[in-house]
């Protein structure tokens, strides 16, 4: 199977796993629907448009900054694009309720599965790590052992998913309420650190495009957690 086909296969698997998790959560811990019915189609369009635009915009920007031609996609770009689009959509339509809680587990599992596709897609995917002498170094096909950064990220998000499910099963109201922001914040921190093992070019001050995005995502998560539980305009106190 060709590398593009492998990547496409795991992209489909990632979406399938995310959707399955979403449906299971809807039948269990998240049966309530914070978005009114007449807003749901627009909400879905916002998620898909924002994720697609962010994935291509920031994935391509990172390649250009790194001196690599062509167009690219980025999981982190998709995440920040989807968040931005939904926040804009909610503000434009007067939706005050927080709507991300149910997406924590689908996001974590989708990234965990999708990154395996990146790992198996070789150097052509442009997501590999820098060379390493560690015994777990990965040969992407050219005889050089490199950090399997995709695997690091996959394991990190799978670990988060396990902790998240355990906390919900234990009845944690805080994890149920703020789990999405925990997922975003955790993703941002691990992604910021893993970027040091990647060969991407610096955007500014020695940091890559994705490290700057990680800082933005972490700030967003911290603000949302810090203000959780406070009544906002349009909600009952």
In a domain? residue 67: no
Residue 24: its H or E element: helix 3-27
What confidence tier does 231 reach under pLDDT thresholds 50, 70, 90? low
* Predicted pLDDT at 234: 44
Evaluate whether residue 50 is within a structural domain. Answer: no
User: Is there a domain that residue 153 lies in?
Assistant: yes
Mind listing the pLDDT tens digit for each residue in 88-104? 999 999 998 899 999 99
Nearest CA-CA partner of 228 in 188, 183, 173, 161: 173
The pLDDT value given to residue 1: 62
Question: Is there a domain that residue 120 lies in?
Answer: yes
Per-residue b or e along 112-128, where b marks 16 or more CB atoms closer than 10 Å to that residue's CB: bbbbbbbbbbbeebbbb
- Is 129 inside a domain boundary? yes
Residue 117 is assigned to a structural domain of this protein: yes
Q: Which residue has the tokens 């994720």?
A: 51
Among candidate residues 10, 26, 6, 214, the one with its CA nearest the CA of residue 109: 10
Distance CA 93, CA 171 (A): 32
Q: What is the mean pLDDT of residues 152-164?
A: 98
Q: How far apart are CA 100 and CA 135, in angstroms?
A: 39
Structure tokens at 42: 């627009």
| Number of domains, the chain | 1
What pLDDT, on the 0 to 100 scale, is given for residue 147? 97
In a domain, 192, yes or no: yes
Ramachandran category for residue 73: left, alpha or beta (phi over 0 → left; psi -120 to 50 → alpha): beta
| Torsion angle, alpha carbons of 9, 159, 33, 13, to 10 | 10
Domain hosting residue 128, numbered range: 3-31+100-226
Model pTM score: 0.92
Q: Is the pLDDT of residue 65 over 70?
A: yes
Cα–Cα distance list, 226 to 5, 44, 178, 221 (Å)? 43, 27, 10, 8
What is the rounded average pLDDT of the residues 147-169?
A: 98
Average pLDDT over residues 55-72: 94
Cα dihedral angle (220, 172, 113, 84), rounded to 10 degrees? -20
Closest CA relative to residue 107, chosen from 149, 148, 78: 78
Is the pLDDT score of 235 beyond 80? no
Residue 138 lies in a domain: yes
């Amino acid at each position: 199977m060709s590398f593009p086909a492998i990547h496409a296969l795991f992209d489909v698997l990632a979406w399938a796993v995310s959707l399955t998790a979403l449906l299971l959560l809807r039948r269990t811990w998240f049966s309530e629907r914070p978005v009114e019915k007449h807003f749901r189609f627009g909400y879905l369009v916002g998620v898909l448009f924002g994720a697609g635009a962010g994935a291509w915009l920031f994935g391509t920007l990172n390649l250009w900054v790194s001196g690599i031609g062509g167009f690219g996609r980025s999981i982190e770009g998709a995440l920040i694009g989807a968040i931005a689009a939904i926040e804009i959509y909610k503000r434009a339509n007067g939706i005050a309720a927080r709507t991300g809680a149910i997406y924590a587990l689908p996001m974590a599992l989708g990234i965990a599965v999708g990154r395996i596709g990146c790992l198996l897609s070789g150097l052509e995917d442009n997501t590999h790590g820098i060379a390493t002498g560690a015994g777990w170094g990965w040969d992407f096909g050219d005889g050089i052992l490199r950090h399997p950064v995709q695997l690091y990220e996959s394991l990190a998000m799978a670990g988060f998913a396990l902790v998240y499910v355990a906390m919900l099963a234990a009845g944690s109201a805080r994890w149920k309420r703020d789990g999405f922001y925990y997922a975003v914040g955790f993703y941002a921190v691990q992604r910021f650190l893993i970027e040091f093992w990647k060969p991407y070019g610096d955007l500014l001050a020695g940091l890559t495009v994705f490290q700057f995005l990680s800082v933005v995502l972490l700030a967003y998560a911290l603000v949302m957690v810090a203000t959780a539980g406070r009544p906002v305009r349009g909600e009952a106190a």
